[in-house]
A and B are shown apart, each in its own frame.
Chain A
Amino acid sequence: MPAALSNGTRSRRFSTRLAAVAIAPLVLTLAACGAASDDGGGSEGGGESGKLVVWDWKSGDPTAKAYVDAAKADFEKKHPDVEVEFVAQPFDNYYTLLGTAIESGSGPDVVLFNGGAQLRDRVDALVPLDDYLGDNEERLAGWEAFQDADQTYAVPITLQGEPFYYNKKIYEEAGLDPEAPPTTYDELTDVCEAIAKIDKDCFSLGNKEGIGMEFHLSTFGPGVFTPEQYDAWLAGDRDWSSPEVKQLFEMWVQQNEDGWFNDGVNSTAMFMDEFTKFQGGESGNVVGLISDVAHWKSFDEFLGDDLGVYPGPIVNEGGQSLMPAEGGIGYGVTEWTADKELAYDLVDSLSSTDALTAFYADAGAIASDTTIDTSDSGIPVVADIVSWLPESKPNLHTVLSADTLDLLHRLSQQLIDGKVTVDDALAQLAASDK
């Protein structure tokens, strides 16, 4: 303004120099905005000399380094001029960030997914891969979790299952046979009563995220349902008012009332407080995973030879004792990627035997590759887990929609909290799961 003031009312022509000064900050601001959006990732043209961007929440882990290196090396052999960039996102916000990318129709070329609802809710953004799979279909297992309406949208790299891990030392202290874990629900009840007497928790449980009921449903479900009911549930024929479903929910409430779990279940985080309690020897049992986290490898570090494992116990006559398992995590190709075949080639490298062997060895994941030899792990429970895989069936909870799962999480907490009855909870779930 000084220039204008000093000139009083003198009218002057618009000077280009001043205009440039005034506009400069605006141009800079807009340029900065433009630059920010340009850096958002995505393939650059996608051709043989382009770049592929992978989003995951794994590649930043030191235990996944060998896996990523092996996959990169395999891909580089096939496409030496294509650069691959791994962007490790925080898992907590992974699907939020991915949702934003999907909404804008741009972003990564290859994305990591959890099997089940998270993938099925986003198949519109993914390329059906059935035409590309070839031999992989035979070599890898766990496809169901990545399929929707008979089309495959991601290639599994790990299997995920939920066995019951137990602490042999605590069994011994409680006067139980450490080599004879429970096979029926009655036996499990006896185990819990015995452990309660030595002032330990029968199960470590964290239900802060509300996931407790998911695990409960999938691990006790096989023992409650007949095989026919189990298959019908998976096929979408779910009767929330059946006596078996009601029994499963009542078991959840009863276990809490009988003091099977640690105190403050609803304020204890499953990841990782629940598992830390088990590793720390505060409880006799825990329902854990077989890949990623809270698995045999991480428990073995703390419990060593005291670590034991058993599949879900039989609850009803006609029920089965099995460990539910299915595809854990897998890579898909986004529909906006420029060269879909090239992107699939990267997925192929990410699921190659060499890469997955490294993932199994370093990260302790049970890989989807059935040709990997797991006999030399040095951890006895792995042999048990692997031996149950052929008999295993998919989880009961992963076939539910994201909406129904979200409701299940809340009800899981409300049932513990006594704010909802089993009947009311089942009515809400029946209304949600249409």
Chain B
Amino acid sequence: MNTSRLGTRTDAGDPGSARVPGGTPGATTPPSTRTGQRAAGSGRRPRWTEDRVVPYLLVLPAVLIVVLLRIVPLVMGANFSFTGDGDANGAWVGLDNYRTLWDDEVFRTAMKNVGLLLLALPVAVAIPGLLATFLFLKVPGYRLYRSVYFFPVVLSPVIIGAIFNVVLSFDGPANQLLEKVGIEPIDWLGDSTYAMFTVIGVHIWATFGMALVIFMAGFATVDQSLLDAARSDGANLRQTVWHVIIPELSQTIQFVFVTTMIGMLTGMFGLLYIMTGGGPGGATYLPELYIWTQQGQMNRPALASAASMVLFVLMLVVGFAQLRLLKRATKES
């Protein structure tokens, strides 16, 4: 699209110029005169031309869907969280719901468990990272492992929860194994000391396959010449990983961290629902399960909205903080 072509086309007869007052359709007009005429008549030039409108029109469905189905419900939810439940349904109650959340021991447990998830996050990222490294280094049988590791991802949390309910039940296989080696059986899901760790462990088992695939894709982009250069410089494995692989995978690691965290915060409902239902004694509540319980079981949708807003803000803050931290941590200075 060069200027000479444009000039030629315009001179050849632009319908726009034809609409200029006093202009003769199809007539060749000296450029200087045309400019003057355009300036004089610019106020009448149609603004809603197809070229201008169509791009907006084409993105309009997407924008409207985002606005109507995402932004509007979010704003409505925020607004709803400042109203009451039950008798005060629809009435403005200010920050009352947030105060109730603050005072609710179950919600506080749910938030503490979020902290536990954040602590477990490096493990949830390290496991697929490590396994992907082994696969990248082509350990014997890596083709088989590659498929096997991905298997749990295709199972629904309900099925995984049901399977582990059996495996981890008090008289189930896991405890039978412990008994064989002389360890007292553990009530994995019924003892509040272990229950949350158990569910987190199952969640990591169930989802690490996806992170593994992302890591594998990341490994495929590692510049082979950098690895060769490191090798010829005499770098050992630790140095290669630390100075070449991790900086090269920095974007991937960031992505896996953020998606794994979001997965933990929003994707554990199914497992919790099936495996513990928030128990024992509310020890395994997460904000998501709390929201569901308040909305459905306790008939307090406004309180549930307030909890949803807290979860939303929490995810924003943690997500951004992670990105900043990881950018610093994974890039070589």
Closest to B14 in A: A10
- CB contacts (< 8 Å) of A29 on chain B: these are 61, 64-65
A60 CB-CB contact with B under 8 Å: no
B240 CB-CB contact with A under 8 Å: no
From A8, A19, A122, A262, B9 is in contact (CB under 8 Å) with A8
Q: Do B297 and A13 touch (CB < 8 A)?
A: no
* Shortest distance between the CB of A31 and any CB in chain B (Å): 12
- CB contacts (< 8 Å) of B281 on chain A: these are 210, 410-411, 413-414, 417, 419-420
Given A8-B1, A413-B280, A419-B192: A268 in contact with B170 (beta carbons within 8 A): yes
Closest to B69 in A: A33
Q: Do A417 and B55 touch (CB < 8 A)?
A: no
Q: Do B106 and A410 touch (CB < 8 A)?
A: yes
Given A95-B296, A411-B281: A14 in contact with B301 (beta carbons within 8 A): no
Q: Do B279 and A210 touch (CB < 8 A)?
A: yes
| Contacting residues of chain B (39-59) with chain A, CB-CB under 8 angstroms | 45-46, 48-51, 53-55, 57-58
A387 CB-CB contact with B under 8 Å: no
- CB contacts (< 8 Å) of A3 on chain B: these are 50, 54
Of the listed residues A14, A95, A267, A410, the one surrounded by the most CB atoms of chain B closer than 10 A to its CB is A267
Cα distance A336–B14 when bound, in Å?
A: 63
Q: Do B297 and A208 touch (CB < 8 A)?
A: no
* Shortest distance between the CB of B314 and any CB in chain A (Å): 23
Q: Do B15 and A12 touch (CB < 8 A)?
A: yes
Cα distance A264–B53 when bound, in Å?
A: 67
Q: Do A12 and B51 touch (CB < 8 A)?
A: yes
Cα distance A416–B191 when bound, in Å?
A: 9
Cα distance A406–B277 when bound, in Å?
A: 12
Q: Do A11 and B49 touch (CB < 8 A)?
A: yes
Q: Do A10 and B295 touch (CB < 8 A)?
A: no
A24-67 contact mask (Cβ, 8 Å, vs B): 1 or 0: 01100100000000000000000000000000000000000000
- CB contacts (< 8 Å) of B297 on chain A: these are 95-96, 402, 406
From A95, A264, A410, B279 is in contact (CB under 8 Å) with A410
Closest to B275 in A: A267
A342 CB-CB contact with B under 8 Å: no
A121 CB-CB contact with B under 8 Å: yes
Of the listed residues B45, B64, B281, the one surrounded by the most CB atoms of chain A closer than 10 A to its CB is B281
A180 CB-CB contact with B under 8 Å: no
Stretch at the interface among B110-118, B131-139, B182-190, B204-212: B182-190
Q: For the side of the interface on A, what is the size category? A: 35 or more
Q: Do B51 and A96 touch (CB < 8 A)?
A: no
From A4, A8, A14, A267, B169 is in contact (CB under 8 Å) with A267
Q: Do B279 and A99 touch (CB < 8 A)?
A: no
B292 CB-CB contact with A under 8 Å: yes
A345 CB-CB contact with B under 8 Å: no
Closest to B48 in A: A14
Cα distance A11–B65 when bound, in Å?
A: 30
B171 CB-CB contact with A under 8 Å: yes
Q: Do B60 and A22 touch (CB < 8 A)?
A: yes
Cα distance A185–B190 when bound, in Å?
A: 28
Q: Do A14 and B53 touch (CB < 8 A)?
A: yes
Q: Do A417 and B49 touch (CB < 8 A)?
A: no
Cα distance A103–B303 when bound, in Å?
A: 13
Can you offer 12 A-B residue contacts whose CB atoms are under 8 A? A11-B46, A12-B51, A14-B49, A15-B50, A23-B57, A99-B299, A121-B298, A124-B89, A210-B280, A402-B298, A410-B281, A413-B190
A-binding residues in B (CB < 8 A) = 1, 5-6, 9-10, 14-16, 45-46, 48-51, 53-55, 57-58, 60-61, 64-65, 86, 89, 106, 168-171, 185, 187-192, 276-277, 279-282, 292-293, 295-299, 301
Contacts A4-B50, A4-B55, A99-B301 supplied; 10 other A-B pairs, CB < 8 Å: A8-B1, A15-B50, A29-B64, A95-B297, A122-B299, A208-B279, A208-B280, A267-B280, A414-B281, A419-B281
Closest 6 CB pairs of A and B: A264-B170, A96-B296, A267-B190, A266-B190, A414-B281, A22-B57
